[in-house]
């Protein structure tokens, strides 16, 4: 029993030592990228999907073919190519450090997001190649996600905005400052103005992204000089009132008006959201469009 406890302790110490050594080696810039290690024949890698399309969705089975310890990393910004042309490639967005003892084989999981929205999601066990490092905006986005903390759906839609030309309104905004920061960064990359609203989309069992917007979300900052009854309305492009939001009282000062609007009864076209004080005083107006490619 004592020998088993001692053996377990030695194994644990070895794992801790490898982890500490890996972090130390990375800090000293003595680690190598997965591509370098594979090209040098020091590491053999087998990459497989875990059956999901975002977050921790891919595994790397790593085999150290040398008699030395190896410290390496999978780079944020690497695009893994799917072996199945009908399934989506994956963009790695979180740098993944690893340490391998001499001749060791281990499996580590990586953080990635699909980047071909018209294809199906990777199945469990689907194969991938190392692919290539992306460039320009893709790299900028991957590095931002690598250092930040954002909701999975926000990251996924941000990736699709760059990879598939999705409308930036597909990046959801729910009053979360991190998500707003991500949306603004993508808008800056594309050189466009950030929209004041965003969409949610219908779910489709046959594909990951339906492309059919079914809800509009937004938050509108406003201020009033006194306690005021606030009313929200939507008019179509002909000026016809098509939706009334419930009215409520707001105290003097700055507030946020939250919009959650189902779109199934709206046709394509331009609409105007109007925020009114005491049923007659215009506070502000904002336009939005339905029916454009999203």
Cα–Cα distance for residue pair 284/167, rounded to 1 Å? 25
Fill in the DSSP letter of residue 177: H
Integer CA distances (angstroms), 127 to 85, 197, 209, 223, 247, in order: 11, 38, 22, 54, 54
Q: All domains of the chain, ordered by start, with CATH?
A: 31-201 (no CATH), 213-290 (2.60.40.2550)
- Note whether 229 and 209 are within 8 A (CB): no
pTM of the model: 0.82
CA angle 169, 245, 197 (to 5 degrees): 10
pLDDT tens digits for the chain (294 residues)? Answer: 555 555 555 444 544 554 444 454 454 447 999 999 999 999 999 999 999 999 999 999 999 999 999 999 999 999 999 999 999 999 999 999 999 999 999 999 999 999 999 899 899 999 999 999 998 999 999 999 999 999 999 999 999 999 999 999 999 877 678 888 999 999 999 999 989 999 999 988 778 888 889 999 999 999 999 999 999 999 999 999 999 999 999 999 999 999 999 999 999 999 999 999 999 999 999 999 998 654
């Amino acid at each position: 029993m004592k020998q088993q406890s001692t053996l377990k302790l030695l194994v644990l110490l070895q794992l801790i030592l490898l982890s500490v050594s890996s972090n130390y080696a990375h800090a000293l810039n003595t680690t190598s990228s997965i591509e370098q290690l594979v090209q040098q024949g020091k590491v053999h890698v087998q990459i497989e999907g875990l059956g999901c399309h975002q977050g921790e969705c891919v595994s790397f089975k790593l085999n150290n073919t040398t008699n030395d310890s190896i410290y390496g990393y999978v780079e944020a910004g690497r695009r893994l190519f799917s072996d199945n042309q009908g399934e989506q490639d994956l963009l790695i967005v979180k740098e993944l450090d690893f340490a391998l003892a001499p001749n060791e084989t281990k499996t580590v999981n990586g953080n990635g997001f699909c980047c071909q929205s018209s294809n199906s999601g990777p199945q469990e066990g689907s194969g991938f190649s190392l692919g290539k490092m992306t460039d320009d905006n893709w790299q900028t986005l991957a590095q931002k996600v690598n250092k930040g903390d954002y909701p999975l759906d926000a990251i996924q839609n941000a990736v699709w905005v760059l990879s598939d030309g999705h409308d930036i309104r597909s990046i959801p905004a729910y009053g979360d400052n991190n998500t707003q920061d991500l949306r603004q960064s993508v808008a800056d990359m594309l050189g466009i103005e950030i929209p004041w609203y965003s969409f949610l989309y219908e779910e489709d069992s046959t594909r990951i992204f339906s492309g059919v917007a079914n809800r509009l979300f937004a938050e509108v900052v406003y201020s009033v000089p006194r306690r005021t009854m606030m009313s929200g309305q939507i008019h179509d492009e002909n000026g016809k009132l098509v939706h009334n939001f419930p009215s409520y009282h707001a105290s003097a000062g700055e507030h946020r008006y939250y919009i959650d609007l189902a779109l199934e009864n709206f046709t394509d076209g331009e609409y105007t959201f109007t925020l009114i004080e005491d049923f007659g005083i215009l506070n502000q107006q904002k336009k939005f469009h339905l029916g454009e490619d999203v």
